[in-house]
Structure 1
Amino acid sequence: MESEGDSNNLSGVQHIILVLSGKGGVGKSTISTEIALALRHAGKKVGILDVDLCGPSIPRMLNVHNMNVHQCDSGWVPVFVDQEKSISLMSIGFLLERPDDAVVWRGPKKNALIKQFISDVAWGELDFLIVDTPPGTSDEHISTVEALRPFRPMGAVLVTTPQAVSIGDVRRELTFCKKLGLPVIGIVENMSGFVCPHCTECTNIFSKGGGEELAKYAGVPFLGCVPLDPSLTQTLELGKDFLQEFPKSSTYTSIVSIAQQILDKASDSSS
Protein backbone atom coordinates (compact mmCIF):
# COMPACT_ATOMS: atom_id res chain seq x y z
CA MET A 1 0.00 0.00 0.00
CA GLU A 2 1.33 3.46 -0.89
CA SER A 3 2.35 5.45 2.18
CA GLU A 4 1.66 9.13 2.73
CA GLY A 5 5.41 9.86 2.61
CA ASP A 6 5.70 8.04 -0.72
CA SER A 7 2.89 10.10 -2.19
CA ASN A 8 4.24 13.40 -0.92
CA ASN A 9 7.84 12.92 -2.00
CA LEU A 10 7.23 11.60 -5.51
CA SER A 11 3.99 13.42 -6.29
CA GLY A 12 5.92 16.27 -7.95
CA VAL A 13 7.92 13.96 -10.26
CA GLN A 14 6.52 13.88 -13.80
CA HIS A 15 8.56 11.05 -15.37
CA ILE A 16 10.63 8.25 -13.80
CA ILE A 17 13.26 6.47 -15.92
CA LEU A 18 15.36 3.47 -14.84
CA VAL A 19 18.77 2.85 -16.42
CA LEU A 20 19.45 -0.90 -16.52
CA SER A 21 21.89 -3.44 -17.90
CA GLY A 22 22.44 -7.14 -17.43
CA LYS A 23 26.15 -6.74 -16.67
CA GLY A 24 28.60 -4.35 -15.05
CA GLY A 25 31.15 -2.17 -16.78
CA VAL A 26 28.92 -1.01 -19.63
CA GLY A 27 28.72 2.60 -18.41
CA LYS A 28 25.23 2.87 -16.89
CA SER A 29 26.34 5.63 -14.53
CA THR A 30 27.95 7.53 -17.42
CA ILE A 31 24.78 7.28 -19.50
CA SER A 32 22.60 8.23 -16.50
CA THR A 33 24.77 11.29 -15.81
CA GLU A 34 24.92 12.46 -19.43
CA ILE A 35 21.17 11.97 -19.99
CA ALA A 36 20.52 14.05 -16.86
CA LEU A 37 22.85 16.81 -18.06
CA ALA A 38 21.31 16.77 -21.55
CA LEU A 39 17.80 17.06 -20.08
CA ARG A 40 19.03 19.93 -17.89
CA HIS A 41 20.40 21.69 -20.99
CA ALA A 42 16.95 21.20 -22.56
CA GLY A 43 15.49 23.25 -19.71
CA LYS A 44 14.23 20.37 -17.57
CA LYS A 45 14.57 19.90 -13.83
CA VAL A 46 16.15 16.52 -13.14
CA GLY A 47 16.80 14.27 -10.16
CA ILE A 48 19.18 11.31 -10.11
CA LEU A 49 18.64 8.43 -7.68
CA ASP A 50 21.81 6.32 -7.47
CA VAL A 51 20.77 2.89 -6.19
CA ASP A 52 24.07 1.24 -7.14
CA LEU A 53 24.86 0.71 -3.46
CA CYS A 54 28.22 -1.03 -3.93
CA GLY A 55 29.57 1.31 -6.62
CA PRO A 56 28.19 4.83 -6.12
CA SER A 57 30.18 6.70 -8.77
CA ILE A 58 27.77 9.47 -9.80
CA PRO A 59 28.66 11.86 -6.93
CA ARG A 60 32.24 11.98 -8.25
CA MET A 61 31.10 12.29 -11.87
CA LEU A 62 29.13 15.40 -10.88
CA ASN A 63 31.84 16.71 -8.53
CA VAL A 64 29.67 16.62 -5.41
CA HIS A 65 31.32 13.64 -3.69
CA ASN A 66 32.35 15.77 -0.70
CA MET A 67 28.80 16.96 -0.03
CA ASN A 68 26.40 15.72 2.65
CA VAL A 69 22.65 15.18 2.65
CA HIS A 70 20.48 16.83 5.29
CA GLN A 71 17.18 15.99 6.90
CA CYS A 72 13.94 17.95 6.61
CA ASP A 73 10.37 17.25 7.70
CA SER A 74 9.77 15.20 4.52
CA GLY A 75 12.96 13.13 4.79
CA TRP A 76 16.36 13.48 3.13
CA VAL A 77 17.13 16.61 1.11
CA PRO A 78 19.08 15.55 -2.01
CA VAL A 79 22.35 17.23 -2.95
CA PHE A 80 21.97 19.98 -5.57
CA VAL A 81 24.59 19.81 -8.29
CA ASP A 82 24.28 23.39 -9.54
CA GLN A 83 23.33 26.78 -8.13
CA GLU A 84 20.09 26.80 -10.12
CA LYS A 85 19.11 23.53 -8.37
CA SER A 86 18.20 22.05 -11.74
CA ILE A 87 19.92 18.72 -10.97
CA SER A 88 19.56 16.99 -7.61
CA LEU A 89 21.22 13.74 -6.57
CA MET A 90 20.75 11.12 -3.87
CA SER A 91 23.35 8.38 -3.39
CA ILE A 92 24.65 6.11 -0.66
CA GLY A 93 27.99 7.79 -1.38
CA PHE A 94 26.75 10.75 0.70
CA LEU A 95 26.00 8.50 3.69
CA LEU A 96 29.36 6.72 4.03
CA GLU A 97 31.70 7.90 6.78
CA ARG A 98 34.69 7.48 4.46
CA PRO A 99 34.58 7.42 0.64
CA ASP A 100 36.57 4.15 0.55
CA ASP A 101 34.15 2.30 2.85
CA ALA A 102 32.75 -0.88 1.30
CA VAL A 103 29.04 -1.59 1.59
CA VAL A 104 29.11 -5.16 2.92
CA TRP A 105 25.41 -5.76 3.37
CA ARG A 106 23.08 -8.68 2.82
CA GLY A 107 20.11 -8.37 0.48
CA PRO A 108 17.41 -7.39 2.99
CA LYS A 109 19.40 -4.41 4.27
CA LYS A 110 20.10 -3.22 0.70
CA ASN A 111 16.44 -3.59 -0.22
CA ALA A 112 15.37 -1.65 2.85
CA LEU A 113 17.66 1.27 1.93
CA ILE A 114 16.43 1.27 -1.67
CA LYS A 115 12.82 1.51 -0.44
CA GLN A 116 13.86 4.28 1.94
CA PHE A 117 15.57 6.16 -0.91
CA ILE A 118 12.36 5.99 -2.93
CA SER A 119 10.02 6.98 -0.09
CA ASP A 120 12.10 9.36 2.03
CA VAL A 121 13.89 11.72 -0.37
CA ALA A 122 12.26 15.14 -0.71
CA TRP A 123 12.64 15.64 -4.48
CA GLY A 124 10.21 18.50 -4.86
CA GLU A 125 9.09 19.34 -8.39
CA LEU A 126 10.97 17.38 -11.09
CA ASP A 127 10.42 16.86 -14.79
CA PHE A 128 12.50 13.65 -14.71
CA LEU A 129 13.90 11.29 -12.09
CA ILE A 130 16.72 9.11 -13.46
CA VAL A 131 17.28 5.92 -11.43
CA ASP A 132 20.78 4.48 -11.91
CA THR A 133 20.74 0.78 -10.95
CA PRO A 134 23.41 -1.83 -10.18
CA PRO A 135 24.15 -4.50 -12.78
CA GLY A 136 22.03 -7.60 -13.08
CA THR A 137 18.47 -8.70 -12.39
CA SER A 138 18.71 -9.34 -8.65
CA ASP A 139 16.33 -8.74 -5.77
CA GLU A 140 17.62 -5.14 -5.57
CA HIS A 141 16.17 -4.50 -9.03
CA ILE A 142 12.89 -6.16 -8.12
CA SER A 143 12.67 -4.03 -4.97
CA THR A 144 13.35 -0.86 -6.99
CA VAL A 145 10.75 -1.62 -9.67
CA GLU A 146 8.13 -2.74 -7.15
CA ALA A 147 8.63 0.34 -4.95
CA LEU A 148 8.30 2.61 -7.99
CA ARG A 149 5.35 0.76 -9.53
CA PRO A 150 2.64 2.92 -7.83
CA PHE A 151 4.16 5.96 -9.57
CA ARG A 152 3.98 4.42 -13.06
CA PRO A 153 7.57 4.72 -14.28
CA MET A 154 7.92 5.93 -17.86
CA GLY A 155 10.17 2.92 -18.50
CA ALA A 156 13.73 1.67 -18.75
CA VAL A 157 16.75 2.64 -20.84
CA LEU A 158 18.91 -0.46 -21.37
CA VAL A 159 22.65 0.04 -21.82
CA THR A 160 24.87 -2.41 -23.69
CA THR A 161 28.29 -2.45 -25.32
CA PRO A 162 28.80 -3.86 -28.82
CA GLN A 163 30.25 -7.24 -27.78
CA ALA A 164 28.11 -10.37 -28.04
CA VAL A 165 28.63 -11.18 -24.33
CA SER A 166 27.18 -7.85 -23.24
CA ILE A 167 24.32 -8.09 -25.72
CA GLY A 168 23.43 -11.54 -24.38
CA ASP A 169 23.21 -10.16 -20.84
CA VAL A 170 21.05 -7.25 -21.96
CA ARG A 171 18.75 -9.71 -23.72
CA ARG A 172 18.13 -11.20 -20.28
CA GLU A 173 17.43 -7.70 -18.98
CA LEU A 174 14.74 -7.35 -21.64
CA THR A 175 13.14 -10.53 -20.28
CA PHE A 176 13.35 -9.07 -16.77
CA CYS A 177 11.50 -5.93 -17.88
CA LYS A 178 8.84 -8.00 -19.62
CA LYS A 179 8.25 -10.19 -16.56
CA LEU A 180 7.89 -7.15 -14.29
CA GLY A 181 5.75 -5.21 -16.75
CA LEU A 182 8.32 -2.40 -17.07
CA PRO A 183 8.15 -0.62 -20.46
CA VAL A 184 11.42 -0.35 -22.40
CA ILE A 185 12.09 3.16 -23.70
CA GLY A 186 14.98 1.92 -25.80
CA ILE A 187 18.53 0.57 -26.01
CA VAL A 188 21.77 2.58 -25.94
CA GLU A 189 24.98 1.07 -27.33
CA ASN A 190 27.78 2.55 -25.22
CA MET A 191 31.54 2.36 -26.00
CA SER A 192 30.60 2.09 -29.66
CA GLY A 193 33.95 2.84 -31.30
CA PHE A 194 36.84 5.00 -30.10
CA VAL A 195 37.09 8.71 -30.92
CA CYS A 196 40.71 9.70 -31.58
CA PRO A 197 41.52 12.84 -29.54
CA HIS A 198 43.79 14.12 -32.34
CA CYS A 199 41.86 13.58 -35.57
CA THR A 200 38.38 12.86 -34.03
CA GLU A 201 38.03 9.79 -36.29
CA CYS A 202 35.93 7.00 -34.73
CA THR A 203 37.40 3.48 -34.86
CA ASN A 204 35.40 0.37 -33.98
CA ILE A 205 37.68 -1.27 -31.41
CA PHE A 206 35.18 -3.91 -30.33
CA SER A 207 32.44 -4.17 -32.93
CA LYS A 208 29.41 -2.13 -33.88
CA GLY A 209 25.71 -2.53 -34.49
CA GLY A 210 24.97 -5.21 -31.88
CA GLY A 211 22.76 -2.89 -29.85
CA GLU A 212 20.76 -1.88 -32.90
CA GLU A 213 20.33 -5.53 -33.94
CA LEU A 214 19.16 -6.40 -30.43
CA ALA A 215 16.64 -3.56 -30.52
CA LYS A 216 15.27 -4.84 -33.83
CA TYR A 217 15.12 -8.39 -32.47
CA ALA A 218 13.26 -7.26 -29.36
CA GLY A 219 11.01 -4.79 -31.18
CA VAL A 220 12.10 -1.83 -29.03
CA PRO A 221 13.56 1.53 -30.10
CA PHE A 222 17.29 1.91 -30.63
CA LEU A 223 18.21 5.25 -29.08
CA GLY A 224 21.75 5.51 -30.46
CA CYS A 225 25.47 4.86 -30.04
CA VAL A 226 27.82 6.64 -27.63
CA PRO A 227 31.51 6.14 -28.53
CA LEU A 228 34.49 5.80 -26.23
CA ASP A 229 35.60 9.42 -26.10
CA PRO A 230 38.64 10.50 -24.05
CA SER A 231 37.08 13.95 -23.66
CA LEU A 232 33.98 12.43 -22.07
CA THR A 233 36.11 10.29 -19.76
CA GLN A 234 38.19 13.29 -18.72
CA THR A 235 35.19 15.48 -17.92
CA LEU A 236 33.64 12.70 -15.82
CA GLU A 237 36.92 12.28 -13.91
CA LEU A 238 37.03 16.02 -13.24
CA GLY A 239 33.32 16.34 -12.50
CA LYS A 240 32.73 18.73 -15.40
CA ASP A 241 29.85 19.02 -17.84
CA PHE A 242 30.95 17.34 -21.09
CA LEU A 243 28.05 18.80 -23.05
CA GLN A 244 29.08 22.31 -22.08
CA GLU A 245 32.80 21.69 -22.68
CA PHE A 246 32.60 19.90 -26.06
CA PRO A 247 29.45 20.99 -27.92
CA LYS A 248 31.02 20.34 -31.36
CA SER A 249 31.93 16.69 -30.79
CA SER A 250 30.10 13.74 -32.35
CA THR A 251 29.64 12.31 -28.86
CA TYR A 252 27.74 15.47 -27.89
CA THR A 253 25.42 14.90 -30.86
CA SER A 254 24.82 11.28 -29.82
CA ILE A 255 23.96 12.13 -26.23
CA VAL A 256 21.68 15.03 -27.16
CA SER A 257 19.88 12.82 -29.70
CA ILE A 258 19.23 10.16 -27.04
CA ALA A 259 17.88 12.78 -24.63
CA GLN A 260 15.66 14.26 -27.34
CA GLN A 261 14.09 10.87 -28.03
CA ILE A 262 13.37 10.53 -24.30
CA LEU A 263 11.79 14.00 -24.34
CA ASP A 264 9.66 13.05 -27.35
CA LYS A 265 8.54 9.84 -25.64
CA ALA A 266 7.69 11.77 -22.46
CA SER A 267 5.70 14.27 -24.49
CA ASP A 268 3.77 11.47 -26.22
CA SER A 269 2.98 9.76 -22.92
CA SER A 270 1.72 13.03 -21.43
CA SER A 271 -0.57 13.91 -24.33
Structure 2
Amino acid sequence: MSSVPENAPNHCPGTQSEDAGKASACAGCPNQNICASGVPAGPDPALEIIKERLANVKHKIIILSGKGGVGKSTVTSLLGHALAKLNPDANVGILDADICGPSQPRVLGVSGEQVHNSGSGWSPVYVTDNLSLMSIGFLLASPDDAVIWRGPKKNGMIKQFLSEVDWGDLDYLLIDTPPGTSDEHLSVIQYLSAAGVSGAVVVTTPQEVALLDVRKEIQFCQKVGLPVLGVVENMSLFVCPNCQARSEIFPATTGGARALCAALGARLLGALPLDPLLARCCDSGADFVAELPHSPAVLALRAIVAEIVASCDRPKSS
Protein backbone atom coordinates (compact mmCIF):
# COMPACT_ATOMS: atom_id res chain seq x y z
CA MET A 1 0.00 0.00 0.00
CA SER A 2 1.34 3.47 -0.87
CA SER A 3 2.57 5.46 2.11
CA VAL A 4 1.18 8.99 2.41
CA PRO A 5 3.44 11.75 3.80
CA GLU A 6 2.32 13.53 6.94
CA ASN A 7 0.26 16.69 6.24
CA ALA A 8 -0.08 15.61 2.59
CA PRO A 9 -2.73 17.30 0.45
CA ASN A 10 -6.08 15.61 -0.11
CA HIS A 11 -6.00 12.71 -2.60
CA CYS A 12 -2.20 12.29 -2.26
CA PRO A 13 -1.28 9.27 -4.43
CA GLY A 14 1.41 8.13 -1.99
CA THR A 15 5.17 7.97 -2.33
CA GLN A 16 5.19 4.51 -3.93
CA SER A 17 2.67 5.35 -6.65
CA GLU A 18 3.69 5.86 -10.28
CA ASP A 19 1.86 9.22 -10.05
CA ALA A 20 3.92 10.37 -7.04
CA GLY A 21 4.83 14.01 -7.56
CA LYS A 22 2.99 14.09 -10.89
CA ALA A 23 -0.70 14.00 -9.99
CA SER A 24 -2.76 17.19 -9.85
CA ALA A 25 -3.05 16.79 -6.08
CA CYS A 26 0.75 17.08 -5.84
CA ALA A 27 0.84 20.63 -7.22
CA GLY A 28 2.29 22.97 -4.61
CA CYS A 29 3.14 20.22 -2.09
CA PRO A 30 6.55 20.86 -0.47
CA ASN A 31 7.43 17.19 -1.12
CA GLN A 32 6.53 17.25 -4.82
CA ASN A 33 10.10 17.25 -6.17
CA ILE A 34 11.23 14.53 -3.76
CA CYS A 35 8.32 12.25 -4.66
CA ALA A 36 8.76 12.83 -8.38
CA SER A 37 12.49 12.01 -8.20
CA GLY A 38 11.79 8.50 -6.91
CA VAL A 39 14.08 8.97 -3.90
CA PRO A 40 12.74 6.99 -0.92
CA ALA A 41 10.67 9.32 1.22
CA GLY A 42 11.76 10.10 4.74
CA PRO A 43 11.50 12.89 7.27
CA ASP A 44 12.55 16.24 5.84
CA PRO A 45 15.83 17.10 7.62
CA ALA A 46 14.68 20.74 7.68
CA LEU A 47 11.99 19.86 10.21
CA GLU A 48 14.57 19.07 12.89
CA ILE A 49 16.61 22.14 11.98
CA ILE A 50 13.53 24.35 12.31
CA LYS A 51 12.61 22.70 15.60
CA GLU A 52 16.04 23.50 17.00
CA ARG A 53 16.03 27.04 15.57
CA LEU A 54 12.64 27.82 17.15
CA ALA A 55 13.27 25.99 20.41
CA ASN A 56 13.36 29.31 22.27
CA VAL A 57 10.12 30.60 20.75
CA LYS A 58 7.31 29.89 23.23
CA HIS A 59 4.22 30.57 21.13
CA LYS A 60 3.93 30.40 17.36
CA ILE A 61 0.71 31.92 16.04
CA ILE A 62 -0.37 31.85 12.39
CA ILE A 63 -2.57 34.74 11.22
CA LEU A 64 -4.98 33.54 8.52
CA SER A 65 -7.84 34.76 6.39
CA GLY A 66 -9.49 33.08 3.47
CA LYS A 67 -10.40 36.47 2.01
CA GLY A 68 -8.06 39.20 0.77
CA GLY A 69 -8.61 42.80 1.82
CA VAL A 70 -9.91 42.09 5.31
CA GLY A 71 -6.93 43.76 7.01
CA LYS A 72 -5.04 40.64 8.05
CA SER A 73 -1.61 42.28 7.79
CA THR A 74 -2.89 45.34 9.67
CA VAL A 75 -4.26 43.13 12.43
CA THR A 76 -0.94 41.26 12.59
CA SER A 77 0.99 44.50 13.05
CA LEU A 78 -1.47 45.70 15.70
CA LEU A 79 -1.18 42.41 17.59
CA GLY A 80 2.62 42.63 17.42
CA HIS A 81 2.72 46.18 18.80
CA ALA A 82 0.12 45.41 21.47
CA LEU A 83 1.82 42.21 22.68
CA ALA A 84 5.15 44.05 22.88
CA LYS A 85 3.71 47.08 24.70
CA LEU A 86 1.31 45.44 27.14
CA ASN A 87 4.17 43.36 28.50
CA PRO A 88 7.51 45.17 28.02
CA ASP A 89 9.34 42.06 29.22
CA ALA A 90 7.90 39.98 26.36
CA ASN A 91 9.80 39.60 23.07
CA VAL A 92 7.68 39.48 19.94
CA GLY A 93 8.61 38.59 16.36
CA ILE A 94 6.65 38.89 13.12
CA LEU A 95 7.41 36.70 10.11
CA ASP A 96 5.93 38.07 6.89
CA ALA A 97 5.17 34.86 4.96
CA ASP A 98 3.29 36.71 2.22
CA ILE A 99 6.04 36.22 -0.35
CA CYS A 100 4.34 37.96 -3.28
CA GLY A 101 2.80 40.82 -1.30
CA PRO A 102 5.04 41.69 1.66
CA SER A 103 3.46 44.68 3.41
CA GLN A 104 4.80 44.42 6.97
CA PRO A 105 7.98 46.50 6.35
CA ARG A 106 5.80 49.45 5.26
CA VAL A 107 3.13 48.99 7.92
CA LEU A 108 5.72 48.76 10.69
CA GLY A 109 7.76 51.70 9.41
CA VAL A 110 10.99 49.83 8.59
CA SER A 111 10.76 49.55 4.80
CA GLY A 112 14.21 51.10 4.27
CA GLU A 113 16.04 48.58 6.45
CA GLN A 114 18.13 45.58 5.40
CA VAL A 115 18.75 42.25 7.06
CA HIS A 116 22.24 41.09 7.96
CA ASN A 117 23.61 37.58 7.73
CA SER A 118 26.09 36.27 10.30
CA GLY A 119 27.36 32.95 11.58
CA SER A 120 24.17 32.53 13.63
CA GLY A 121 21.86 33.23 10.69
CA TRP A 122 19.82 36.15 9.42
CA SER A 123 19.19 38.89 11.95
CA PRO A 124 15.61 40.23 11.87
CA VAL A 125 14.97 43.97 11.71
CA TYR A 126 14.02 45.50 15.05
CA VAL A 127 10.97 47.78 15.01
CA THR A 128 11.27 48.43 18.76
CA ASP A 129 13.47 46.95 21.46
CA ASN A 130 11.19 43.93 21.82
CA LEU A 131 9.48 43.72 18.42
CA SER A 132 11.34 42.32 15.39
CA LEU A 133 10.39 41.55 11.80
CA MET A 134 11.59 39.36 8.93
CA SER A 135 10.19 39.81 5.44
CA ILE A 136 11.23 39.18 1.86
CA GLY A 137 10.60 42.91 1.43
CA PHE A 138 14.02 43.50 3.01
CA LEU A 139 15.67 41.38 0.31
CA LEU A 140 14.25 43.23 -2.70
CA ALA A 141 16.20 45.93 -4.53
CA SER A 142 13.09 48.13 -4.63
CA PRO A 143 9.71 48.04 -2.85
CA ASP A 144 8.15 48.09 -6.33
CA ASP A 145 9.90 44.87 -7.44
CA ALA A 146 7.46 42.06 -8.18
CA VAL A 147 8.11 38.59 -6.78
CA ILE A 148 7.04 36.26 -9.61
CA TRP A 149 7.67 32.80 -8.23
CA ARG A 150 6.06 29.41 -8.54
CA GLY A 151 5.05 27.40 -5.50
CA PRO A 152 8.28 25.42 -4.91
CA LYS A 153 10.41 28.59 -4.81
CA LYS A 154 8.01 30.26 -2.37
CA ASN A 155 8.08 27.12 -0.23
CA GLY A 156 11.89 27.23 -0.23
CA MET A 157 11.88 30.85 0.91
CA ILE A 158 9.54 30.07 3.80
CA LYS A 159 11.73 27.12 4.80
CA GLN A 160 14.76 29.42 4.75
CA PHE A 161 13.02 32.00 6.93
CA LEU A 162 12.01 29.38 9.49
CA SER A 163 15.37 27.61 9.56
CA GLU A 164 17.86 30.46 9.22
CA VAL A 165 16.49 33.52 11.03
CA ASP A 166 18.08 34.06 14.44
CA TRP A 167 15.08 35.26 16.48
CA GLY A 168 16.72 34.69 19.83
CA ASP A 169 14.34 34.19 22.76
CA LEU A 170 10.77 35.03 21.77
CA ASP A 171 7.53 34.84 23.70
CA TYR A 172 5.42 35.20 20.55
CA LEU A 173 6.12 34.69 16.85
CA LEU A 174 3.28 35.95 14.64
CA ILE A 175 3.29 34.54 11.11
CA ASP A 176 1.44 36.73 8.60
CA THR A 177 0.22 34.64 5.66
CA PRO A 178 -1.38 35.55 2.31
CA PRO A 179 -5.12 35.00 1.72
CA GLY A 180 -6.43 31.56 0.90
CA THR A 181 -5.35 27.98 1.60
CA SER A 182 -2.45 27.47 -0.75
CA ASP A 183 1.26 26.67 -0.93
CA GLU A 184 2.43 29.08 1.74
CA HIS A 185 -0.06 27.82 4.31
CA LEU A 186 0.74 24.15 3.72
CA SER A 187 4.46 24.91 3.89
CA VAL A 188 4.25 26.87 7.15
CA ILE A 189 2.16 24.16 8.83
CA GLN A 190 4.36 21.31 7.59
CA TYR A 191 7.65 22.99 8.48
CA LEU A 192 6.37 23.85 11.96
CA SER A 193 4.96 20.38 12.59
CA ALA A 194 7.94 19.35 14.72
CA ALA A 195 8.41 22.75 16.38
CA GLY A 196 4.77 23.01 17.47
CA VAL A 197 2.18 25.72 16.80
CA SER A 198 0.00 27.36 19.45
CA GLY A 199 -2.75 27.94 16.92
CA ALA A 200 -4.26 30.27 14.36
CA VAL A 201 -6.01 33.62 14.57
CA VAL A 202 -8.52 34.01 11.73
CA VAL A 203 -9.38 37.52 10.51
CA THR A 204 -12.64 38.44 8.78
CA THR A 205 -14.94 41.36 8.09
CA PRO A 206 -18.68 41.29 8.88
CA GLN A 207 -20.17 40.86 5.39
CA GLU A 208 -21.16 37.46 4.03
CA VAL A 209 -18.82 37.67 1.02
CA ALA A 210 -15.88 37.55 3.46
CA LEU A 211 -17.44 35.00 5.79
CA LEU A 212 -17.84 32.54 2.89
CA ASP A 213 -14.06 32.27 2.53
CA VAL A 214 -13.39 32.38 6.27
CA ARG A 215 -15.57 29.30 6.76
CA LYS A 216 -13.31 27.50 4.28
CA GLU A 217 -10.24 28.74 6.17
CA ILE A 218 -11.54 27.32 9.45
CA GLN A 219 -12.33 24.03 7.70
CA PHE A 220 -8.76 24.04 6.35
CA CYS A 221 -7.43 24.42 9.90
CA GLN A 222 -9.55 21.48 11.03
CA LYS A 223 -8.32 19.27 8.19
CA VAL A 224 -4.62 19.93 8.85
CA GLY A 225 -4.99 19.74 12.65
CA LEU A 226 -4.25 23.42 13.32
CA PRO A 227 -6.00 24.70 16.48
CA VAL A 228 -8.02 27.89 15.97
CA LEU A 229 -7.40 30.28 18.85
CA GLY A 230 -10.26 32.44 17.67
CA VAL A 231 -11.70 34.85 15.13
CA VAL A 232 -11.16 38.62 14.93
CA GLU A 233 -13.85 40.67 13.19
CA ASN A 234 -12.07 43.61 11.59
CA MET A 235 -13.78 46.79 10.33
CA SER A 236 -16.89 45.88 12.30
CA LEU A 237 -18.04 49.50 12.58
CA PHE A 238 -16.87 52.86 11.30
CA VAL A 239 -15.83 55.25 14.08
CA CYS A 240 -15.83 58.93 13.11
CA PRO A 241 -12.57 60.47 14.36
CA ASN A 242 -14.32 63.80 15.01
CA CYS A 243 -17.61 63.00 16.74
CA GLN A 244 -16.96 59.31 17.59
CA ALA A 245 -20.28 58.39 15.98
CA ARG A 246 -20.45 54.79 14.79
CA SER A 247 -22.00 53.47 11.60
CA GLU A 248 -22.10 50.11 9.82
CA ILE A 249 -20.02 50.24 6.61
CA PHE A 250 -19.91 46.47 6.02
CA PRO A 251 -23.37 45.19 7.03
CA ALA A 252 -23.45 41.90 8.90
CA THR A 253 -26.44 40.59 6.95
CA THR A 254 -25.91 37.01 8.18
CA GLY A 255 -24.86 37.87 11.72
CA GLY A 256 -21.17 38.58 11.13
CA ALA A 257 -18.34 36.85 12.92
CA ARG A 258 -20.43 36.23 16.04
CA ALA A 259 -22.92 34.06 14.14
CA LEU A 260 -20.08 32.32 12.28
CA CYS A 261 -18.32 31.44 15.53
CA ALA A 262 -21.54 30.18 17.09
CA ALA A 263 -22.20 27.95 14.07
CA LEU A 264 -18.67 26.54 13.85
CA GLY A 265 -17.88 26.35 17.56
CA ALA A 266 -15.03 28.87 17.30
CA ARG A 267 -14.13 31.56 19.82
CA LEU A 268 -14.85 35.19 18.93
CA LEU A 269 -11.78 37.07 20.16
CA GLY A 270 -13.30 40.50 19.54
CA ALA A 271 -14.16 43.14 16.98
CA LEU A 272 -12.01 46.02 15.72
CA PRO A 273 -13.71 49.17 14.42
CA LEU A 274 -12.82 50.82 11.12
CA ASP A 275 -10.80 53.92 11.97
CA PRO A 276 -9.36 56.15 9.20
CA LEU A 277 -6.58 57.26 11.55
CA LEU A 278 -5.44 53.63 11.71
CA ALA A 279 -5.18 53.51 7.91
CA ARG A 280 -3.06 56.65 7.92
CA CYS A 281 -0.74 55.18 10.55
CA CYS A 282 -0.28 52.04 8.44
CA ASP A 283 0.58 54.09 5.34
CA SER A 284 3.11 56.18 7.25
CA GLY A 285 4.52 53.29 9.32
CA ALA A 286 3.50 54.92 12.60
CA ASP A 287 2.67 52.90 15.71
CA PHE A 288 -1.11 53.30 16.09
CA VAL A 289 -1.09 51.67 19.53
CA ALA A 290 1.33 54.31 20.83
CA GLU A 291 -0.13 57.23 18.86
CA LEU A 292 -3.74 56.77 19.96
CA PRO A 293 -3.74 54.55 23.07
CA HIS A 294 -7.28 55.56 24.10
CA SER A 295 -8.95 55.13 20.71
CA PRO A 296 -11.84 52.63 20.40
CA ALA A 297 -9.69 50.42 18.17
CA VAL A 298 -6.87 50.15 20.71
CA LEU A 299 -9.30 49.52 23.57
CA ALA A 300 -10.83 46.67 21.56
CA LEU A 301 -7.35 45.45 20.64
CA ARG A 302 -6.35 45.16 24.29
CA ALA A 303 -9.27 42.82 24.94
CA ILE A 304 -8.38 40.72 21.88
CA VAL A 305 -4.74 40.42 22.96
CA ALA A 306 -5.82 39.36 26.45
CA GLU A 307 -7.92 36.57 24.89
CA ILE A 308 -5.01 35.41 22.71
CA VAL A 309 -2.58 35.38 25.64
CA ALA A 310 -5.07 33.41 27.73
CA SER A 311 -5.63 30.93 24.89
CA CYS A 312 -1.87 30.38 24.47
CA ASP A 313 -1.37 29.87 28.19
CA ARG A 314 -4.38 27.56 28.58
CA PRO A 315 -3.28 23.94 29.11
CA LYS A 316 -3.85 21.79 26.03
CA SER A 317 -6.47 19.08 26.45
CA SER A 318 -5.03 15.59 26.23
Q: TM-score, normalised by structure 2?
A: 0.82
Once residues 10 and 197 of structure 1 are traced to their aligned partners in structure 2, the CA distance between those partners, rounded to angstroms, is 41
CA contact (8 A) 2:50 2:191 kept: no
Note the C-alpha offset of 1:160: 0.6
Correspondences of 1:33-44 after superposition (within 5 Å): 33-43=77-87, 44=90
Question: What residue is the counterpart of 1:219 in the other structure?
Answer: 265
Once residues 73 and 292 of structure 2 are traced to their aligned partners in structure 1, the CA distance between those partners, rounded to angstroms, is 19
AA of the residue aligned to 1:249: S
* Cα RMSD for the two superposed structures: 1.4
Note the C-alpha offset of 1:200: 1.1
Correspondences of 1:10-25 after superposition (within 5 Å): 10-25=54-69
Note the C-alpha offset of 1:126: 0.2
Structure with the higher helix share, 1 or 2: 1
Correspondences of 1:92-171 after superposition (within 5 Å): 92-171=136-215
AA of the residue aligned to 2:280: Q
AA of the residue aligned to 2:112: N
CA contact (8 A) 2:230 2:268 kept: yes
* Structure with larger Rg: 2
Once residues 100 and 24 of structure 1 are traced to their aligned partners in structure 2, the CA distance between those partners, rounded to angstroms, is 20
AA of the residue aligned to 1:105: W
Structure 1 residue corresponding to 2:231, chosen from 170, 187, 212: 187
CA contact (8 A) 2:51 2:194 kept: no
| Counterparts in 2 of 1:145 and 1:69: CA distance versus 1, 3 Å | same
Once residues 168 and 53 of structure 2 are traced to their aligned partners in structure 1, the CA distance between those partners, rounded to angstroms, is 7
What is the aligned length?
A: 269
Q: Which runs of 5+ in 1 are unaligned?
A: none
Once residues 136 and 168 of structure 1 are traced to their aligned partners in structure 2, the CA distance between those partners, rounded to angstroms, is 12
**Aligned partner of residue 113 in structure 2, secondary structure:** coil
1:233 aligns with 2:279: yes
Structure 2 residue corresponding to 1:72, chosen from 110, 118, 122: 118
CA contact (8 A) 1:9 1:74 kept: no
**Aligned partner of residue 134 in structure 1, secondary structure:** coil
Question: What residue is the counterpart of 2:14 in the other structure?
Answer: none
AA of the residue aligned to 1:123: W
CA contact (8 A) 2:50 2:195 kept: no
Note the C-alpha offset of 1:270: 7.9
Identical-residue share of aligned pairs (%) = 51
Once residues 174 and 297 of structure 2 are traced to their aligned partners in structure 1, the CA distance between those partners, rounded to angstroms, is 20
Once residues 78 and 315 of structure 2 are traced to their aligned partners in structure 1, the CA distance between those partners, rounded to angstroms, is 22
Question: What residue is the counterpart of 1:60 in the other structure?
Answer: 106
Q: Which runs of 5+ in 2 are unaligned?
A: 1-42
Note the C-alpha offset of 1:7: 3.2
